[in-house]
Structure 1
Amino acid sequence: MSQLDAPQRESGTIAPVTTIRTWLFPPAQNPTTPLGPAARRALWIEITIVLLVTFGLSGLSSILSLLESALAVEPLSEQTVALNAPRSSQELIDLARQLLGIVRLLAWAALGVYLLWRGGFGPKLVGLARPRLRSDGVPGVGLAALIGLPGLVLYLVARTAGLNLTIAPSILEDYWWRLPTEVLWAIANSGAEEVLVVAYLITRLRQLGWSENSSLVASSLLRGSYHLYQGFGGGFGNFVMGLVFGRYWQRTSKLWPLVIAHALIDSVAFIGYQALQGRVSWLP
C-alpha cells in the first residue's frame, strides 16, 4: 500500500471527498492521438453538419419560439405548448405522420452511432453494449426518479413565476394507437438525444482536445437550447439534466441507463398527463 493510499483507508472523510471531487472534476480523457489540422477541420465540419441537421437546428428554432412567446401579449404561463400533437385530422394519416416523426428521430440516433463507429468508436465503446437489467435498468430507473420528480417541481415553480409556458405533454386524439405511439415517441426521443447530445458530441469534443468539463457544458447547453420553446424553466431544467446525464456517461461509459431513464421520464409525462388531466388540482 502506498502512502497516497494510506490516508484514504485510515480516514473516514478523505475517501468520500476524493470520490466526489473525481466525479465532479474528472481527469482529461484522451481516446485518440492528437488530430492534425486537416483532421480537426474535417471533424468540425462533421459536427456542424450533424447539429444543423438535428438538434442544433432545433435549438435555433426553439430560441425563436421562446422569443415569439415572450413578445406575445399573453404571459408565458397563459400560453400552452403541446409536445405530442395531432398531425392530421385523418386518423390513419395522423398515425402515419406520427410514425414518420419517430423514424426520423431513430435515424438521427443511427446516424450518430454510425459516425462514431466509422471513427473507431463502436457501440460497445460508447456504452451501447447489450443492455442488462441490473447494470443498466436499475440505474436507469434511479436516474429517471432523480431527474423526473425535481423536474416536475421545477416546471410548476417556473410556470407559477411566469417563466414557463403551460406544457401539455400529449394532446393526441384517443385512438387505439395513442398509447403505443406515445411510448414509441418516448423511446425515439431518448435514443436520439442521448446518442447525439451525449455520446456523439462529447466523444467528438474529446477528440478535439476539449476537457471533460468543457464538453459536458457544451452538451448540456445544447440540450437546454432545444427545450427553450417550453420556456426558461424548460431550458434550465434540461440543462441540469444534461449535466447529470453527461457526467454519468463520462464516469461510467454506460449509455443505456440514460436512454432508459429518458424514455421512462417521457413515457410517464405523456401517459400520466392524459390520465391525470382534470383529476388533480395541481396539474395545469
Structure 2
Amino acid sequence: MSIPTSDRDQPGSTSRLRTTLRSWLSPRRPEPEPGTAGQSRGAILVELSIVFAVTLGVAGLQSLLTLVDALLRTSSLDQQAVSINAPAATVGLVDLARQLTGILRLFAWGALGVYLLWLSGIRPARIGLRRKGFPGDLVRGAGLAALIGVPGLGLYLAAHAAGLNLAVQPSTLDDAWWRAPVLVLSALGNSFAEEALVVGYLLTRLRALGLGENRALWISAVLRGSYHLYQGFGGFVGNVVMGLVYGRVWQRTNRLWALVVGHALIDVVAFLGYALLRDRVGWLP
C-alpha cells in the first residue's frame, strides 16, 4: 500500500525526535563575549589558574589524593565511609559557627567567578543569573533534579555494591536545632559555587580562549568529577555525567539559575533525607 505524497513528505515522530535530540546534543553557536577583546590568552590562563588554585581545582587534587589513600588501605572501598557534612567542633555553637563559615566560603567562591566576569564586562545576567524568568528556572531546576538525582542514586548504589565507591554519608551532624537549616544552606552554597564557577565562569572563559563548545564542556565536566573523587569511582562518573548534562543545558539555554536550583534540590534531598533515614532504613550504605 503506497503512502500519500503529503504524508510521505512530512517527517514522522521518530524523525522529529531525532532532530530534537541532535539539536540539543549539538552546541549552540555562542555570541561573542563583550569585554574579552582586550584580554590576552595569557592573562585569561593566569586568571583561570589562580581562581581554581584557590577553589575547586585544588579541591579536585585533594579529592584524588583522598581516593589514593583509600585505595592503599587494607579494607576495600565499600567498607570505608566518607562524610560530606561532618561535625567541625565538639561544642555545639562553635560547630554551628564553623559550618556557617564553610558555607560562606562556598558562596564567596561562586561570587569570585561572577565578579571577575563582571570586571571584564560580562554582566551576571549574560551568564544566566537574571531575575526575569526566574519562576521558569524553578521549574527547569526541578526537572533537572529529577533527571539527574534518581539515576544518580541508582549509580551510587550500584557502584558501592560493586566495591567501586565508598559509603557516602551526606550528613553526620548531631541532631541539633540548627541541623536542618545548616544542611539547606550547605546545599545552596555547594550548588552556587559549583554552577557559578564550573559552568558560568569556566565555560565563558574557555569561549574567550577560543575552545570549541564540546571540548570546553568535557573540561568542565571532568573538573566537576575530579573534586568528587573522594567518594570513589562512582562519584566521579556520576558527576562527570551531571557536568555534561548541566553544561550542555547552559550552553543551549544560558539559564544558570536553573542549574543552581536543580543542584540545590538534589543536595537538599540527599542531606536532609539521609539525616532523617540513616537509622531507619537498611538499604542505605
- In which range does the TM-score fall when normalised by the shorter chain? over 0.9
Q: What amino acid sits opposite 1:155 in the alignment?
A: Y
Identity %: 56
Q: Deviations over 1:35-86 (max 9, x none)?
A: 7797110000000100101000000000000000011001000000000000
Question: Does the 8 Å CA contact 2:134/2:257 hold for their aligned counterparts?
Answer: no
1:199 aligns with 200
Determine the structure 1 residue equivalent to 2:69.
68
Change (3 A) 1:251 1:181: same
Asked if the contact 2:191/2:264 (under 8 Å) is kept, the reply is yes
Q: Cα distance, 1:10 vs. partner? A: 2.8
Deviation at 1:16, TM superposition (A): 3.3
Structure 1 pair 37–70 and aligned structure 2 pair: CA distance change class (3 A): farther
Cα distance between partner residues in 2 of 1:45 and 1:212: 21
Superposition deviation, residue 278 in structure 1? 2.5
Question: Residue 3 of structure 2 aligns with which residue?
Answer: none
Contact 2:28 2:251 in 1 (8 A): no
Aligned-partner Cα distance in 2 for 1:114–1:213: 25
Alpha-carbon distance in 2 for matches of 1:131, 1:158: 40
Q: Which residue of 2 aligns with 1:26?
A: 27
Say if 2:11 is the partner of 1:11: yes
Q: Which runs of 5+ in 1 are unaligned?
A: 1-6
Match of 1:86 in 2: 87
Q: Alpha carbons of 1:246 and 1:10: their partners in 2 closer, same or farther (altered >3 Å)?
A: same
Is the contact between residue 35 and residue 208 of structure 1 (CA under 8 Å) also seen in structure 2? no
Give the TM-score of the pair, scaled to structure 1: 0.93
Amino acid of the structure 1 residue aligned with 2:94: I
Determine if contact 1:76/1:231 at 8 Å carries over to the other structure: yes
Shift of 1:147: 0.6
Superposed CA deviations along residues 166-190 of structure 1, whole A, max 9, x for unmatched, are 0110000111111100000000000
Q: CA deviation at 1:279?
A: 1.7
- After superposition, give the CA deviation of every residue in 1:100-157 in whole Å (9 maximum; x if it has no partner): 0000000001101101111221111100001645410111111101111111100000
Whether contact under 8 Å (1:159, 1:166) holds in the other structure is: yes
Q: Which moved more, 1:266-275 or 1:219-228?
A: 266-275
Q: Structure 1's 55 and 16: CA in aligned 2 closer, same or farther, altered over 3 A?
A: same
Q: Distance in 2 between matches of 1:135 and 1:38?
A: 35
Which residue of the partner structure matches residue 123 of structure 2? 122
CA distance in 2, matches of 1:37, 1:56: 26
Aligned to 2:234: 233
Q: Which whole-Å CA distance do the structure 2 matches of 1:226 and 1:280 have between them?
A: 29
Letter in 1 for 2:130: A
Question: Structure 2: which 5+ residue stretches go unaligned?
Answer: 1-6
1:152 matched residue in structure 2: 153
Q: 1:187: which partner in 2?
A: 188
1:17 deviates by 2.3
Structure 2 Cα separation of the partners of residues 33 and 273 of structure 1: 44
Distance 1:200 1:88, change over 3 A: same
**Would you say the 8 A contact 1:219–1:246 is kept in 2?**
yes
Q: Contact 2:148–2:242 at 8 Å: present in 1 too?
A: yes
State the TM-score, normalized to the length of structure 2.
Answer: 0.93
How many corresponding residue pairs?
278
Match of 1:4 in 2: none
Q: Which residue of 2 aligns with 1:221?
A: 222
1:279 aligns with 2:284: no
What is the CA–CA distance in structure 1 between the aligned matches of 2:197 and 2:24, rounded to whole Å? 22
Q: Judging changes above 3 Å, is the alpha-carbon distance between structure 1 residues 37 and 187 closer, same or farther for their aligned structure 2 residues?
A: closer
Aligned residue for 1:266, secondary structure, equals helix
User: Aligned-residue CA RMSD in angstroms?
Assistant: 2.0
- Whole-Å Cα distance in 2 between the matches of residues 210 and 187 of structure 1? 30
In structure 2, relative to structure 1, the CA distance for the partners of 1:177 and 1:132 (3 Å cut) is farther
Tell me by how many angstroms 1:21 deviates. 1.3
Counterpart amino acid of residue 137 in structure 2: D
What is the aligned partner in structure 2 of residue 3 from structure 1? Answer: none
Matched to 1:259, the amino acid is V
